[in-house]
Amino acid sequence: MPIETAEPPFDYASLLRLERARLLELLTSVEDAEWGRPTPCPAWDVGDLCRHLLGDDLYVLSLIRDQHAGTALPTMDDSGFIAWLDRLQMDWVDAARRVSPQLVVELLSWLGPQLATAFDHVDPRAIEAHVSWASDRLVPMWLEAARELSEYWIHRQQLLIALGRPTDLRRDLLGPVLDALRWAFPHRLAEVGAPHRATVRIEVTGAVERTWYIVRDERWDLTEHSDGDGDEVAVARLDADVAWRLLTNNLARDATLDIIGDPAIVAVLRRTRAIIGAPE
């Protein structure tokens, strides 16, 4: 199942509306003293992380609705690009600290429906998006929408963690988020050679249950079912809560992972991330 031909698995505009509703429900419950609590994002407190989300809204709406990219993407290696992006995001948050938490929440409430509507009017099959952790080539626009949904969902979990509340593992959003993040696996496996039809099996259990197969043909590709033609070279068994944390640099460094098989492939599976950033 090459990503270029995969069908849109969800109505992402509707999921973005649901995610924004849950974010706003959370933010309206935050006490004044809690806005300054530290989050899993280094150097950002609760208010700063929300200001980052506000910047995401403005950028994505400008790009998707108005075709306005603004800041040109530089040409550099991965480490240079990560450092550049980190500086860009810090510059935004530094400037946005002038915006009060109440106004940030009001703006997120105003922008959320517009963002979802913008994706309502996008052809999800159009090969026009660039999602660097999933492919070096252009990918369908539905993956752009899935990437944005994942971004908002992940940051909401970080806010919940910062506020000392349980993470939200309801299947209606966690399932689509994991189904988006999984595309990082075949992309990262490109650096590993393997025999024709070699297969990697990833089993997700717990709040969401999934079994993904990644099969080596001309390249590594995801498939929902194994045809049994090739050798199984690695198996990963991940709880759903562990899976999203692993793929987004939110897993404790001492966490135990059940991944066995070819050492080179196991190493790639352990360090695969569906974000722009180095594994931690």
CATH for 119: 1.20.120.450
How, if at all, do strands 199-205 and 210-216 pair? antiparallel
Based on the domain organization, do 119 and 226 belong to the same domain?
A: no
Here the tokens at position 254 are: 């001492």
Instruction: Give the structural domain span for 55.
Output: 12-181
By the 10 Å C-beta count (0-12 exposed, 13-18 middle, 19+ buried), 209 is classed as: exposed
The answer to the question of residue 242 being in a domain is yes
pLDDT for the residue numbered 76? 64
Give the CA-trace dihedral at 185, 142, 179, 257, to 10 degrees. Answer: 40
Higher pLDDT, 83 or 62: 62
Here the tokens at position 45 are: 């407190």
> Which CA distances in Å does 85 have to 63, 121, 185, 277?
17, 28, 23, 9
Beta bridge partners of 234: 200, 261
Q: What is the pLDDT of residues 64-106, one digit of tens each?
A: 999 998 877 777 676 777 787 778 888 999 999 999 999 999 9
Is residue 145 within 8 Å of 160, Cβ to Cβ? no
The answer to the question of residue 5 being in a domain is no
Here the tokens at position 50 are: 């929300």
Question: Does 254 have pLDDT greater than 80?
Answer: yes
Based on the domain organization, do 140 and 35 belong to the same domain?
A: yes
Q: What's CA 186's distance to the chain center, in Å?
A: 15
Here the tokens at position 235 are: 């198996």
Is residue 87 within 8 Å of 101, Cβ to Cβ? no
Here the tokens at position 55 are: 């910047």
Confidence of residue 27 (pLDDT cuts 50, 70, 90): very high
pLDDT for the residue numbered 99? 96
Here the tokens at position 30 are: 């935050």
Based on the domain organization, do 90 and 139 belong to the same domain?
A: yes
Based on the domain organization, do 95 and 152 belong to the same domain?
A: yes
Confidence of residue 265 (pLDDT cuts 50, 70, 90): very high
Is residue 40 within 8 Å of 161, Cβ to Cβ? yes
The answer to the question of residue 278 being in a domain is no
Radius of gyration of the chain (CA): 19
> Which CA distances in Å does 198 have to 34, 37, 233, 261?
50, 47, 6, 12
Is residue 225 within 8 Å of 213, Cβ to Cβ? yes
Based on the domain organization, do 154 and 125 belong to the same domain?
A: yes
Based on the domain organization, do 147 and 266 belong to the same domain?
A: no
Beta bridge partners of 261: 234
When divided into structural domains, the chain yields a total of 2
Distant-in-sequence, close-in-space partners of 67: CB < 8 Å, separation ≥ 6: none
Residue type at 190 in one-letter notation: A
Beta bridge partners of 193: none
Q: How far apart are CA 271 and CA 280, in angstroms?
A: 8
Over residues 51-65, the mean pLDDT reads: 96
- What is the spatial order of strands in the sheet that 258-261 belongs to? 220-223, 210-216, 199-205, 232-239, 258-261
Question: Does 263 have pLDDT greater than 90?
Answer: yes
Based on the domain organization, do 142 and 257 belong to the same domain?
A: no
Residue type at 60 in one-letter notation: V
Over residues 203-227, the mean pLDDT reads: 92
Helix (H/G/I), strand (E/B), else coil: 254: coil
pLDDT for the residue numbered 42? 86
